[in-house]
Amino acid sequence: SLSQLAAPQHPKIRLYNLEQVLSWESPFPANDTRPVVYSVQYKYALGKWFDVHMVNCTQITATECDFTAAGLLKGFPLYFNVTLRLRAELGELVSAWVTMPWFQHYRNVTVGPPKHIMVTPREGTLVIAVSPPFEVDTSMVTFLYTVYYEEKPGMQQARVKGPLQSNFIFLDNLKPFRIYCLQVEAQLFWNNQKIIRPGQLSNTSCYETTAGAHAKQQQVIGISVGTLLSLLLLAGACFFLVLKYGSVVKYLFRTPPSIPAQIEEYLKDPVQPILEALDKDISQKDDTWNSVSIISFPEKEREDVL
């Protein structure tokens, strides 16, 4: 009627981990400057309506009511059946109440990824330690963890480990010195209601496995054998090159020709009569002897000589 305001539009409740936030849209245009306020009420199953007392959600100008603001309060009990309603108010004018479907936090929550994930590489194993996305009453609900992992994304089909209730997960039978990438999901299991709420996957993280003493010994032996074979191949290649190109090698490494000492002295001082000295030395060597002996003669010449 004309005496009523338009009701808030598109109300929705956000339940993420421990967050409980109600939001809505104003029914009035953005340029409407009238001082419109909103009020929120709640009730439990078969109960009466109450104003929200945990935070101020009565006659507020914002289009949101955070029941767990700043983490100081825990909001509504996580296992209670809760129904919310809200309306707009302008002076004495009020809108009709807008009532939302009831909810239970454990039944409707969106579960985030594990808060912390620590991975320790070991011999052919990755040890994963996880912490829950948020604190819960373990007598009523528990978290189940599932790990999705693969060796270097795309190398093999992804494998799954879980769901497991333990906070420690062991990925066994992995290849040593290989890189494995993984994601972890936390699911909320409500024991009494047999309800499982799926969770969001964590960011992908990659780790390299280590090896035991036997694998390390094999690796050392393999490296040693590979190095020895490489040296043998190198030595064989050098021997073959020497055999095939020996003359070229000798030519490349030959001793350069040298100038005789006498010529070198002459070049330093051309005034010296080096050529005559050399010729004289040669003549003296040619004409000098210690003794002469006749070894044999033919018979006829021997008689003539005699």
The pLDDT tens digits for 254-267 are 666 666 666 666 66
273 lies in some domain: no
* Strand positions, DSSP E, the chain: 9-16, 19-25, 37-44, 50-51, 64-66, 82-90, 93-94, 98-99, 116-122, 125-131, 141-151, 159-164, 168-171, 179-190, 195-197, 205-208
CB 63 within 8 A of CB 40: no
Q: Are residues 77 and 132 in the same domain?
A: no
Query: Considering the entire predicted model, what is its pTM?
Result: 0.66
Instruction: Give the residue, 241 or 164, on which the prediction is more confident.
Output: 164
Tally of domains in the chain = 2
3-state DSSP percent of the chain in helix, strand and coil, to 5? 25, 35, 40
Q: Find the CATH number of the domain harbouring 178.
A: 2.60.40.10
Q: Are residues 180 and 126 in the same domain?
A: yes
Q: Are residues 99 and 158 in the same domain?
A: no
Lowest mean pLDDT among 70-74, 108-112, 113-117, 159-163: 70-74
Average pLDDT over residues 66-76: 78
Please identify, among 53, 78, 107, the residue that sits at the C-terminal boundary of a domain.
107
Q: What are the tens digits of pLDDT across the range 181-209?
A: 999 999 999 998 889 999 999 999 999 99
Domain that holds residue 72: 9-107
Instruction: Give the residue, 269 or 278, on which the prediction is more confident.
Output: 269
Please identify, among 166, 181, 214, the residue that sits at the C-terminal boundary of a domain.
214
Q: Are residues 145 and 94 in the same domain?
A: no
pLDDT at residue number 213: 46
* Residues 188, 165: Cα–Cα separation, whole Å: 10
CB 82 within 8 A of CB 100: no
Residue 116 C-beta-side C-alpha neighbours within 13 Å: 6
97 lies in some domain: yes
Give whichever of 73-82, 92-101, 250-259 has the largest mean pLDDT: 92-101
264 lies in some domain: no
224 lies in some domain: no
Q: What are the tens digits of pLDDT across the range 105-142?
A: 999 999 999 999 999 998 889 999 999 999 999 999 99
* Residues 192, 200: Cα–Cα separation, whole Å: 23
